Structure 1
Amino acid sequence: MKSKEEDEMTFWDHLEALRWMLMRCAVVLVALMIAVFLAKEWVFTAIFAPKSSSFFVYHWIDKLGALFYIHSLRIVPFNLNLVNFQLTGQFMTHLSVAFWLGLILSFPYFFYELWRFISPALYASERRPVVWTFMAGAILFFIGVSISYIIIFPVAVHFFYMYQISPDIKNLISLSSYISLFTTTLISIGAVFELPILVYLLSRLGILKRSFMRKYRRHAIVVIFIIAGIITPADPFTMLAVCLPLVLLYEASIYVCKK
């Protein structure tokens, strides 16, 4: 049952609770931004690691290419040299990375604060499913971010850097474009991994049915392969590296969807 305190809370009490929740979230975000900002050397060493063929993922891909005689998987040694065209470019990039990584690291706390805000309004029988939903959401987000950093982002960096429409055109990669690809890839893939949670919530509201997702499974897989074909080189390994997690996510979404 709902608590007596919850029954007595007015609209302004809820508004005050929301204000304090947002303030606590802002404090945590700023604290993590400062921590990331101060750890500049470690952070940017990790971020810049995929711009060189010495990155461990490229060694794995190259070994797979040698093992299965797939020429397109062989990694030619390379080192992407970043350039900065603006006077304030490096400092603003430093601030941008601190914000986005601070935001990513803050997500578990945001989920916790959101749970604290809505839990008094829930019945006891409703709280356990909601707790698991928030925990699963945080875990899936970080799984998506990890897969993005370890596989998808390095593959994208290598493909776009090595791609040429003419040998007369040399690729000069700006710092801002590299960081933009990094943050966009991590956050977008992390958000995509929230698909099972979204499907679960929509199914609880009666908007989405398991039968519907099963009916259009083939269509969804075709769309996934089309998207993977657009954003990755046309070789089996890289397409599989992108498609497999997305297909598994779709299957997991079918499983969590109510009948």
Structure 2
Amino acid sequence: MSDPQQTQTEGNEETFISHLVELRDRIMRAGIAVIVVFLGLVYWAPDIFKLLARPLMMNLPKDGKLIVTDVTGSFFVPMKVTMMVAFVIALPIVLYQIWAFVAPGLYQHEKKLVVPLVGSSYILFLCGMAFAYFVVFPTIFRVMAHYNAPLGAAMNTDIDNYLSFVLTMFIAFGVTFEVPIVVVLLVRMGILTVKKLRQIRPYVVVGAFVVSAVVTPPDVFSQLILAVPLIVLYEAGIIAARLIVGKQKEVADEEEHAPS
């Protein structure tokens, strides 16, 4: 006669192993999606890097240029940029694989929340990257070129350093544009209320300028173009949270007064 406890233990081990196998398969599918997109773009890797470098090149002085200080930099840097672009393009597939893995363990109301949440997060992150590329980069490079002119030094930037800088800016502004999502989640989960979010507004404003001072170059214009959107997006999150909470309250009232 088999031991029920032993049988339960074996069943738990099999379930754990099956989850690991599924996780491996999901990761492999996500990785394959990124690699396929990368292979489709790799031929245009130099052009993709030129497109990324365009905001800098358009604001460099006449004697300024991009340089390569590493022997393999001219090959690997465009490859890194292309891989980054491939990941962004394939991100919906990556997110779907994550969703497919965690969905069986979610309640129905959580599933309804995750899809619009992930979709809006992806769109907002892309908006943050676009804002950095079209607004932030030209402003920062123009200001840096202006500061460099009185020094009489040639403004030559290594392509690897440039890539590190733009990646930092993309991540910073991509995360910044996620602020409304974070605010709505905090209210939805009951961690904070709309009233509390309004009360801590002064601290958020100070924090926005502190974060912008750390992330961006040390000039007023660069700090403002990160701090101001962060504050505006925080306010947008409060408005969205207030609308969502109001809608939830109406639904709850209707269910409470509905005839049994």
Distance in structure 1 (CA, Å) of the matches to 2:63 and 2:202: 40
Paired AA for residue 196 in structure 2 = F
* Structure 2 residue aligned with 1:195: 179
Paired AA for residue 239 in structure 2 = Y
Deviates more, 1:84-93 or 1:201-210: 201-210
* Structure 2 residue aligned with 1:182: 166
- Is 2:93 aligned against 1:109? yes
Q: Is the 8 A contact 1:53 1:79 kept in 2?
A: no
Q: Is the 8 A contact 1:25 1:110 kept in 2?
A: yes
1:15 maps to which of 12, 20, 27:
20
Distance in structure 2 (CA, Å) of the matches to 1:170 and 1:192: 33
Q: Is the 8 A contact 2:63 2:155 kept in 1?
A: no
Distance in structure 1 (CA, Å) of the matches to 2:63 and 2:232: 34
Aligned-residue Cα RMSD (Å) equals: 2.9
Which string of whole-angstrom CA distances, capped at 9 and with x for unpartnered residues, describes residues 147-181 of structure 1? 11111122222223332396244332111111211
Paired AA for residue 86 in structure 1 = D
Paired AA for residue 114 in structure 1 = I
Structure 1 residue ranges without an equivalent (≥5)? 1-8, 55-75
- Is 2:38 aligned against 1:52? no
* Structure 2 residue aligned with 1:124: 108
- Higher fraction of helix: 2
TM-score (norm. length: structure 1): 0.75
Q: Summarize the Cα distance change of 1:86–1:178 in structure 2 as closer, same or farther, 3 Å threshold.
A: same
1:239 Cα deviation after fit: 5.7
Distance in structure 2 (CA, Å) of the matches to 1:251 and 1:116: 33
- Is 2:260 aligned against 1:255? no
Identity %: 27
* Structure 1 residue aligned with 2:47: 42
TM-score (norm. length: structure 2): 0.75
Paired AA for residue 104 in structure 2 = P
Q: Secondary structure at the match of 2:148?
A: coil
Q: Is the 8 A contact 1:196 1:253 kept in 2?
A: yes
1:84 Cα deviation after fit: 0.8
Deviates more, 1:249-258 or 1:215-224: 249-258
Deviates more, 1:118-127 or 1:238-247: 238-247
Paired AA for residue 167 in structure 2 = T
Which string of whole-angstrom CA distances, capped at 9 and with x for unpartnered residues, describes residues 53-84 of structure 1? 37xxxxxxxxxxxxxxxxxxxxx965740111
* Structure 2 residue aligned with 1:150: 134
Q: Is the 8 A contact 2:38 2:82 kept in 1?
A: yes
Distance in structure 1 (CA, Å) of the matches to 2:74 and 2:109: 51
Distance in structure 2 (CA, Å) of the matches to 1:148 and 1:203: 28
Which string of whole-angstrom CA distances, capped at 9 and with x for unpartnered residues, describes residues 89-117 of structure 1? 11121222122222222322222222222
Q: Summarize the Cα distance change of 1:234–1:201 in structure 2 as closer, same or farther, 3 Å threshold.
A: closer
- Between Structure 1 and Structure 2, how many residues are aligned? 228
Within 5 Å, which residues of 2 pair with 1:165-180? 167-180=151-164
- Is 2:36 aligned against 1:31? yes
Q: Is the 8 A contact 2:56 2:137 kept in 1?
A: no
Distance in structure 2 (CA, Å) of the matches to 1:256 and 1:20: 37
Distance in structure 2 (CA, Å) of the matches to 1:138 and 1:203: 20
Distance in structure 1 (CA, Å) of the matches to 2:171 and 2:88: 8
Larger Rg computed on CA atoms: 2
Q: Secondary structure at the match of 1:87?
A: coil
